[in-house]
Amino acid sequence: MRDRLAELDASVRINGRTIATTSTRGPKYALAEAIAHASVSEQLFPGELFCTGTLPGGSGMETGRWLAAGDTLRLEIDGIGVIEHPIV
């Protein structure tokens, strides 16, 4: 599973404009390792959301593009899906 998750392309869009293209390549820890670590002191249940942080090159600090009220932020990861948020 690590290999499949470690090779996905992703994009970050603000108001429909692509501001970053990135990928899941090169994480410090595999997702399975992070889940194993978290489950040492917490019981995890099926369906829980597990967040891993920003993809390399995909944050405002790296792109110089900060969010403002009225923006719509969209993250798309090939093979996983899309999440979109209006900024209020």
Q: What is the pLDDT of residues 46-68, one digit of tens each?
A: 988 877 778 888 888 888 888 99
Longest dimension (CA), the chain: 41
Regions of the chain short of the pLDDT cut 70: 1-6
Q: According to the model, what pLDDT value does residue 1 have?
A: 46
Q: According to the model, what pLDDT value does residue 86 have?
A: 97
CA-to-CA distance for 67 and 39, rounded, in angstroms?
A: 33
- Asked if residue 44 lies in contact with residue 38, where contact means CB atoms within 8 angstroms, the answer is yes
- Asked if residue 22 lies in contact with residue 6, where contact means CB atoms within 8 angstroms, the answer is no
Q: According to the model, what pLDDT value does residue 12 have?
A: 93
CA-to-CA distance for 88 and 67, rounded, in angstroms?
A: 10
